[in-house]
Amino acid sequence: MRIFPNAQEISESMGLLAAIDRFTDLQFGSSAVTCVCVGDGCRPRTAALACFRTKWQRIISVDPCLRMEPSYSSIARLELYTARIEDVTFHVDASHNDVVIFLPHAHVVPNIALGSLRFEAGHSPRVTVVQMPCCNYEWQDRIGGLDADHAFIDYAIGSTRRRMRVWCDVFAAAVKCGAIYTGERRIQRSGALERENGVLTTYPLSCSVKRDVRRTTEKQARVAKPSKNKFYVVLKGRQTGIFTSWDECQAQVGGFSGFQYRVFKTETEARAWQHAATTASVREEGDISVEASG
């Protein structure tokens, strides 16, 4: 699957999971857990490792550079979103007693990552945050006024950026400071687009939520997108059919298990292939091409 290109990235993802095992009583065998990995890069390394090593029911990887390779669809419980964490929201199942946020060298402060979570009224699970900070984000060492419960350097990580911070439960503090919202409280961002579990929703400009200032890097600002003059045939997704933009296609396949689609330069080619693929009795998975936005 080529999820881990080198030993350094393996050690970083292993270090995040090891911190959970070492400093919390959260069980890898528990299923009532939602896990969100922010900043995995072009490969869902930490999220995939969590899928392999735990039985957590919902495991999500979010990164604007994330590639959706066909082989990733075979990883059970893995959801992929090629997007900034600011532009997505995830509703946490009321039966889940634990939420884990992993920040592996993520270029985002913890409060912004927590802002992607939505909880039902009366639902107050334990929210654990494990941060491996880098660059200018090392200064963000508090969540809702709370210092990390554990801060240390993990020398087993094969990187110069091996500082680790663990907050065992930030739910109450994050709600109090406005990073997390529950119940019927309106969640709106100034001029932003939110992706409600894969569905884009616009919000009015008049209502905004104060959040920690996030320093946007030049790398994040340059998220390459495919050309508009292409036709995307979605065979398996939330909706199937032919779409004329990557954003429309991504809304159908992002986070969808077993997604399948192919890209064509002309509508004629797209319709011809769609007809052949849908009428064929046997389809080969290897015939599906994938184009990423990062």
Q: Report domain 7-177's class.
A: alpha beta
Domain assignments of the chain as residue spans, ordered by start: 7-177, 231-282
The three state secondary structure string of 184-238 is CCCCCCCCCEEEECCEEEECCCCCCCCCCCCCCCHHHHCCCCCCCCCEEEEEECC
Pair 278, 235: CB distance under 8 Å: yes
Global pTM?
0.65
> What value does the mean pLDDT of the chain take?
79
Q: Does domain 231-282 have CATH number 3.20.20.450?
A: no
**pLDDT tens sequence across 213-245:** 333 333 333 333 444 578 888 888 888 889 888
**pLDDT tens sequence across 243-266:** 888 888 888 887 777 788 888 888
Using 50, 70 and 90 to split pLDDT, how confident is the model at 191? Answer: very low
